[in-house]
Amino acid sequence: MPDADVNGIRLYYEEHGQGGPIVCIHGGGSSALMWAGAVERLAELGRVITYDRRGCGRSARPEPYATSVAQQADDAAALIALLEAAPAVVIGRSYGGAVAVDLALRYPDRVLALVLLEGDALGLSPVALEWTRGILDRLREVAARDGVDSVYEALVEEVFGPGAWESFPEEIRAVLAQNGPALLAELGYVDEPLPDAAAFRTIDKPALLIAASESPPAQQEMTEAMAAVLPAARLVRIGGGHLIDPAGSDVVTFIRDLLEDR
């Protein structure tokens, strides 16, 4: 699979299918591997582009590593431009949702629509902001005590519940463990300027927001807050936890309808 050089960094990416572009932005310290189970179904709808964000997985890992949501959105915008994939349906999971929102705010020409799978919106929820600060503090303690390779396991156990880490395939656990520095760097966005309700109201793109009933309350609260301020948003509540299927029936229907109307 190819690499792309954008903004001075090497990004690993994959393309599947043909038609209208669908760009997938993975969550905090994660990898495009997390989309593997959905790619085949999404590729029936259009041209699916997945990639490992800078510092993650098979993309370049700067050391020491620092990043921001804006830098990640700049990378996404540059990759979309390089691959001539604008405007794209952008699917963002968790922290990747914050990146997708920033992309829509600053590069609206690159975005056809948003699909936010419990995307982060810390500027809309003081509860979620403090919850995330607490997670970052605890993960820093884990890194100091057990090593940085242990932080992702600690995050998974907190967000998904005890025993969840062992349910992940071994290949994915290995990649996520190596992404510890990226996860810590990305969670530092609690101290970045965060878009508020007024900023969200300027995003006029169609948006599908998915919230899961068994996710941490802070995750659900952010999704509900976005639904209240995004002008063209539709909120869907489903069962299960935070690891929402990117090719679930609601997502597939939303994307199919959008791309068929183009």
The reply to whether omega before 64 is within 30° of 0 (cis) is yes
What tens digit of pLDDT does each residue of 208-221 get?
Answer: 999 999 999 999 99
Neighbours of 146 (CB within 10 A): 12
Q: What is the pLDDT of residue 1?
A: 62
Q: Of the CATH numbers 3.30.450.40, 3.40.50.1820, 3.40.50.2300, 3.40.50.620, which one belongs to the domain with range 3-123+193-260?
A: 3.40.50.1820
What residues does each domain of the chain span? 3-123+193-260
Cβ atoms of 29 and 152 within 8 Å: the answer is yes
| Percent of the chain scoring above 70 in pLDDT | 100
What tens digit of pLDDT does each residue of 68-114 get?
Answer: 999 999 999 999 999 999 999 999 999 999 999 999 999 999 999 99
